Amino acid sequence: MLNNSPKVRAIIYWATIGRMLAKIRPALLWVAIISGLLAISLQALEISANAPGLAAVLTVASFLSSAALLGGACGAMVLGHWYLVVPSLDVAHLQSIVKLHIVSMVVRAVVVVAAVTMAVVTWQPGMGPNFLRYILSSGGIFFWQRVLFGLACPAVLAYMTWETAKIQSTQSATGILYVDFFTVIVGEVLAKYLLLSTNVPV
């Protein structure tokens, strides 16, 4: 009867399997990180298999920076939510992850600028659609939405989050991070649409 108690089973699990797993948890974390990076890189290489020049390298950089941006935004939002549950948490943790989010956003913007620059500068007749002509046409609205929702809005919102975290207004920071995460998702969905339709890893 006692062995059927959930509390007893939890204690037995923690004292046996749980303690053993705790020792290998760092190794499992690194295996998960390396496997994720490898999977993302292989997917990018598969999509850009027929791309000319440095397009494959930029596609890999685009996929990795996209994952970093999404992870930073999601991680910051989830951590911010915990300040609503445990208000006594040190605000320095939120500030640190917002810094990471800002850095990932800067890296993402650099990759996008590099991809657009390469697509415009290296284009020649016979290579497919002219990307510059595309972004200046009516169809280019998807590109400008990608820039607005995926880069400009998160940049402003991340700065607002940083300022609110500095004055330890964690509830306001969390609310801003919810909006920030939504805009990042919209931007990255548009980025993948543009990649599939134009072969430019924005």
Determine the pLDDT at residue 20.
66
Determine the pLDDT at residue 21.
67
E strands, 22-179, are: none
CA–CA dist 38, 33 (Å, integer)? 9
Q: Which structure tokens are listed for 18?
A: 């749980």
Angle (CA) 180-186-190 rounded to 5° is: 145
CA–CA dist 165, 32 (Å, integer)? 30
Per-residue confidence in pLDDT tens, the chain, 202 aa: 445 567 776 766 666 666 666 677 788 889 999 999 999 999 999 988 877 778 889 999 999 999 999 999 999 999 998 888 888 888 899 999 999 999 999 999 999 999 999 888 887 665 566 788 888 888 889 999 999 999 999 999 999 999 998 888 888 999 999 999 999 999 999 999 999 888 889 8
Determine the pLDDT at residue 107.
96
Determine the pLDDT at residue 26.
82
Determine the pLDDT at residue 14.
66
Say if residues 62 and 201 touch (Cβ distance below 8 Å): yes
pTM for the structure as a whole: 0.83
Determine the pLDDT at residue 2.
47
